[in-house]
Amino acid sequence: MEIKKLSWLHRYQYDNLPNSYKELKKEFNTLNTLLNRKVKRSDKIKNEIVELRDEIRLLHTQHNSIFKKLEFINKNYTPNSYLTTYQKNNKGEYVQLIVKYLGETKSIYLGNKEKIIKTFEDYIPSLNEKNYKYKVGKYLEPIITTHFIQLNDPKSFLRNSYKLIDIVEVIKVK
């Protein structure tokens, strides 16, 4: 942005001007000073924005580098769990909790479908035969993570075997 300037007036020229022009000249000088200040401030802010973008770019690069080094923790040390059902000798549906942890899967036998619904109906609202797989799976995921998996010995979860009674005991203690 170009700021237009008036040519220099000597004092005797300024004194010979009519009063209305003198006032306009004063107003012009005031506006010129304010405009110069705002332009300088704007340039300073633009320079600061450029510096901030550079700093953000560097920090973002460092952030991504460290994230890539730690990403395996989320993939490996955070277990995923879900319920599956199967039939055995056409006697009914049986339920297992499948936990994927450290790249391996572990199944925990929970019992038949009716037993599961009866066990968890006090802890999970609106549990029924249609939604029990999803709701029980989501309900048990944080319990498995906090009470059965130890980060100082992550393989212990895979070595040990667990049953529905172990899980219910933890729930009752809560």
Tell me, letter by letter, the H, E, C secondary structure of the chain: CCCCCCCCCCHHHHHCCCHHHHHHHHHHHHHHHHHHHHHHHHHHHHHHHHHHHHHHHHHHHHHHHHHHHHHHHHHHHCCEEEEEEEECCCCCEEEEEEEEECCEEEEEEEEEHHHHHHHHCCCCCCCCCCCHHHHHHHHHHHHHHHHHCCCCCCHHHHHCCCCHHHHHHHHHHC
Average of per-residue pLDDT across 139-149: 83
- 167 and 89 part of one domain: yes
Residue scoring higher pLDDT (5 or 56): 56
Number of independent structural domains in the chain? 2
Does residue 21 surpass a pLDDT of 60? yes
List the beta bridge partners of residue 100. 80, 105
| pLDDT for residue 8 | 65
- 84 and 72 part of one domain: no
Parent domain of 102:
78-173
| pLDDT for residue 76 | 67
Residue 4, in any domain of the structure: no
- 25 and 102 part of one domain: no
| pLDDT for residue 12 | 75
pLDDT over 70 for what percent of the chain?
90
- 87 and 153 part of one domain: yes
Threshold 0.85, pTM exceeds = no
- 66 and 144 part of one domain: no
Tell me the pLDDT of the chain averaged across its residues: 84
Q: What is the pLDDT of residues 82-107, one digit of tens each?
A: 888 888 787 778 889 888 877 788 88
